[in-house]
Amino acid sequence: MTDLKEGDSVFMRSAADPLFIGNRLGRGGQGTVFATELHGLPLAVKWYRPSASREFDEKIYTGLVKLVEGGRPKSHAFIWPIDMVSSPGRDGFGYVMPRMEPRFITCFQMLSSRDAPDFSIKTKIGLNLVDAFASLHTDGLCYRDISFGNLYVDPLTGDVAIIDNDNVGTTGAETFIKGTLQFMAPEVMLNESPPRTESDLYSLALFLFYLFCHGHPLEGSAVDESYNSDDRERLSDEELLLKHFARQPLFIFDPDDPANRPAAGHPANSWWPVYPRFFQQMFIASFTTGLRDYTLTGRIIESLWRRALYRLADCIWQCANCNAALLFDPGDAGRACWNCGRVPAAPLLLKTTSYALVLTEGAVLTNRHLMLPGRPEEQLAVAEFDQRLPGQLLLRNVTTQNWEIETPGEDSQQVKPGHKVVARPRKIKMAGKIASIVQAQDDARS
């Protein structure tokens, strides 16, 4: 007997008390996931049925033991194995892990929803994913199977949960798991390289493109036509995938080759032009150079994604004409609004040594912007309106120290904690660092 059912029990290696098996949460090709709990803490058990190959099962088991003993990476996003479990009288094996909270849904569900997440949530999801995989790669591990089936999100907070961590292993090591075809790096699809950090970086870029542009970066009109041509009669589905995603891949927005542009009406056609040029360039590099160069030089590493995503978050603003959500492009300050077609007045920017934050209601200046110690997202200033000054954007001091304000042609002044100052061209000294408020158009000419 190998299968588990509700009411059965399993035992962890590190505890004597049994875990009682609850309802089934999911089932895949290798194993089944059941609900359980320990002292009121909700957990889950993934149980593996013996396969036809004892050697295969032993390698899976050995890999799981290494994950348990190595412990979870720094990121809390991973639903990581806690301990191995066994059940008396059964030949299978399994592991126990935290149970994913019900607030999480698949990323595909979120993107398919009529209430699409806003830019702020998308950037938070992107940052959380980048940080999660950076923590994994720092430990010398790779995920191997980044895909829609394994990445879950909270559409209200941008938190992420990464499941099926039995896919994880040492980067470049032998594995039975190569990934999901549409998300797999070309070199892995062609058996030129085992899954490793570099292939994870390719899959991460592909997933981020889906997140921000709502489509596959290589699946354009040329691919569609291939399925309706002689290729479809000569090649199997797998051979067609190999052709378009590994042997002859072409980015749908390749700047030098328009042969695989998205079909008319595809969502990517609407989303792509919304993003600033610096963010588009991240994807262009990922799916031109990154298709051919399988090294860390050819792929976009996590630190570069992190900086680009932070920069994108700082670009969020709103069209003054129609209130549509916009992303300010510092390289194209005269860009028209995607919704109403009018060119909105250029925003004010709060500039620091390394960042430029668009000043719009709700914008937040943080430790990150001034490279201060402490938590990167600790707030220093918040942009807001005040009924006493209609239409005038203000900056509120949310620190515990006074600010020093210098305005051309005026005496210097101080802003106490909790007090506000009008957002207009001036310099603000806070925590020993200088931030300057400038008009975007003036800044572009300087």
Task: Provide mean pLDDT across the span 76-84.
Answer: 96
User: For all residues of the chain together, what is the average pLDDT?
Assistant: 92
* 423 and 293 assigned to the same domain: no
Of the chain, the percentage scoring pLDDT greater than 90 comes to 73
Q: Is the pLDDT of residue 319 over 60?
A: yes
Using one digit for the tens of pLDDT, what is the confidence trace for 115-162? Answer: 888 999 999 999 999 999 999 999 999 999 888 889 999 999 999 999
- CATH at 181: 1.10.510.10
- 138 φ, ψ to 5°? -60, -30
The answer to whether position 368 is within a domain reads yes
The answer to whether position 328 is within a domain reads no
Closest CA to 344 of 316, 322, 312: 322
Give CA–CA dist 383/420, Å, rounded.
Answer: 9
The answer to whether position 326 is within a domain reads no
* 267 and 379 assigned to the same domain: no
Q: At what angle do helices 197-213 and 302-313 cross, to 10 degrees?
A: 20
* 55 and 156 assigned to the same domain: no
* 139 and 198 assigned to the same domain: yes
pLDDT for position 31: 84
The answer to whether position 199 is within a domain reads yes
- Assess contact for 415 and 396: CB atoms under 8 A: no
Full domain range(s) for residue 225: 105-308
Burial bucket for residue 53 (CB in 10 Å: 0-12, 13-18, 19+): exposed
The answer to whether position 176 is within a domain reads yes
Q: Is the pLDDT of residue 382 over 60?
A: yes
* 133 and 70 assigned to the same domain: no
Between 326 and 31, name the one with better pLDDT.
326
pTM confidence score = 0.93
User: Which of 264, 289, 308 is where one domain is finished?
Assistant: 308
pLDDT for position 442: 55
pLDDT for position 263: 94
Q: Is the pLDDT of residue 329 over 60?
A: yes
pLDDT for position 446: 42
Closest CA to 101 of 123, 64, 76: 76
pLDDT for position 1: 52
- 280 φ, ψ to 5°? -55, -40
* 270 and 370 assigned to the same domain: no
- 325 φ, ψ to 5°? -70, 130
Give CA–CA dist 291/253, Å, rounded.
Answer: 14
pLDDT for position 27: 82
* 362 and 226 assigned to the same domain: no
pLDDT for position 430: 93
Please give the span between the terminal C-alpha atoms of the chain, in angstroms, as a whole number.
75
List, as own/partner pairs, every contact residues 259-267 make where C-beta atoms lie below 8 angstroms and the sequence separation is at least 24, other chains included: 259/221, 259/222, 260/218, 260/220, 260/221, 260/222, 260/223, 261/220, 261/221, 262/215, 262/220, 262/221, 263/220, 263/221, 263/224, 266/215, 266/220, 267/213, 267/214, 267/215
Q: What's the alpha-carbon Rg for the chain, to the nearest Å?
A: 25
Give CA–CA dist 47/9, Å, rounded.
Answer: 12
User: Which of 98, 121, 156 is where one domain is finished?
Assistant: 98
Give CA–CA dist 183/133, Å, rounded.
Answer: 15
- Assess contact for 108 and 148: CB atoms under 8 A: yes
* 345 and 440 assigned to the same domain: yes
Buried b vs exposed e over 158-189: b needs ≥16 C-beta within 10 Å? bbbbbbbbbbbbbbeeebebbbeebbbbbbbb
pLDDT for position 160: 97
Q: Is the pLDDT of residue 445 over 50?
A: no
Task: Provide mean pLDDT across the span 307-328.
Answer: 94
- 124 φ, ψ to 5°? -65, -40
Of the chain, the percentage scoring pLDDT greater than 70 comes to 98
Number of domains composing the chain = 3
* 64 and 113 assigned to the same domain: no
Q: Is the pLDDT of residue 174 over 80?
A: no
* 296 and 348 assigned to the same domain: no
Using one digit for the tens of pLDDT, what is the confidence trace for 364-377? Answer: 999 999 999 999 99
Using one digit for the tens of pLDDT, what is the confidence trace for 216-227? Answer: 999 999 998 887
Among the residue ranges 19-33, 68-82, 170-184, 269-283, the one predicted with the least confidence is 170-184
- CATH at 76: 3.30.200.20
pLDDT for position 235: 80
Among the residue ranges 19-23, 169-173, 368-372, the one predicted with the least confidence is 169-173
User: Which of 48, 69, 98 is where one domain is finished?
Assistant: 98
**What is the strand order of the sheet 389-397 is part of?**
364-366, 379-386, 389-397, 420-422
User: Quick one: pLDDT band at residue 59, thresholds 50, 70, 90?
Assistant: confident
Strand partners, 179: none
pLDDT for position 77: 96
